[in-house]
Amino acid sequence: MLVGDDPASEVYVRHKVKDGSEAGLFVDLVRRPATSTLDETLAVVRALNTSPTHDGIIVQSPLPAAMGPTAEMTVFETIDPAKDVDGFSPVNVGRLVQNRAVLRSCTPAGVIELLERAGVPIAGQHAVVIGRSDIVGKPMALMLLHRNATVTICHSRTANLAAVAATADLLVVAIGRAAFVTRAHVKPGATVIDVGMNRVADRAAVESWFPDGSPKRAELERKGSILIGDVHPEVAEVAGALSPVPGGVGPLTRAMLMQNTVTAAESRLEGR
């Protein structure tokens, strides 16, 4: 469900429709105008909750500001937890804490998939998560904890953040600040997962990160802006492994959404 016409949301939703179609899922894009009320939005959600032909429901964030600051949370409380393929419903978040979630937040689930398929050990490692959002930081910390990592959560109020980050064997960065994590934050050989995705048009910033002649400089000339994660490119010189942006966590997040949808459909078919 897409309410309004936020340009970034249009891109995300287009990706989801494409991913679903390619995976062989039926995707029903429900659009409502930006002038819709919260009550109208909730009525659509309730209809989808009881629809026999819909296994998963996503309401794209952000909702129009006019709906008020708690509108999204009200929507997440209304979506049937069995169809909550984003994993944002409080019931599913609570089950995640209790290590028995069936539908889990897609980005941290994608990071786990990435680590496991790359053969990066988690158990017994010191994992540091930078960022404490409901959607990434907190569920990421819980998933790493359940895989027996010792987990530290850092954030904007953390004292000596670079020094804390530099104790990590496994560093997950989701703070939403371009090139924030530098060499000083990374223990040599550590695995670094960059969850950030920032569009930067500031020429001076881009030139400070990338040398003349690099592909990112060319991207800036061509498009007027570049995509960069939360990790400074110099980290590649010290990290044992580093996930790229774009092309790292993003595609895994999209894949996990498809996986959640298939899981929800299977659960419903099996009468669970």
Active-site choice (60, 83, 138, 187): 60
d(CA 133, CA 161): 17
Q: Does the active-site annotation cover 259?
A: no
Q: Which two tokens stand for residue 104?
A: 């889990």
Which residue stretch of 35-43, 58-66, 144-152, 209-217 sits at the interface with a second copy (rule: CB under 8 A)? 144-152
CA gyration radius, the chain: 20
Which residue stretch of 32-40, 133-141, 204-212, 215-223 sits at the interface with a second copy (rule: CB under 8 A)? 133-141
Three-state DSSP class for residue 207: helix
Active-site choice (55, 80, 84, 86): 86
Q: Does the active-site annotation cover 60?
A: yes
- Our CB check for a second copy shows the closer of 18 and 46 to be 46
Q: Does the active-site annotation cover 202?
A: no
Of 97, 9, 12, 24, residue with least CA distance to 55? 24
Binding string, 68-107, against a second copy, x = CB under 8 A?
-----x---------------xxxxxxxxxx-x-------
Based on the shown chain and the rule CB under 8 A, indicate whether residue 162 belongs to the binding site for a second copy.
Answer: no
Burial level of 225, CB count in 10 A (0-12/13-18/19+)? middle
Are the CB atoms for 260 and 85 separated by under 8 Å?
yes
d(CA 131, CA 147): 19
Based on the shown chain and the rule CB under 8 A, indicate whether residue 150 belongs to the binding site for a second copy.
Answer: yes
Site residues for a second copy per CB under 8 A = 73, 89-98, 100, 123-124, 126, 132, 134, 138-139, 141-142, 145, 148, 150-155, 157-159, 164
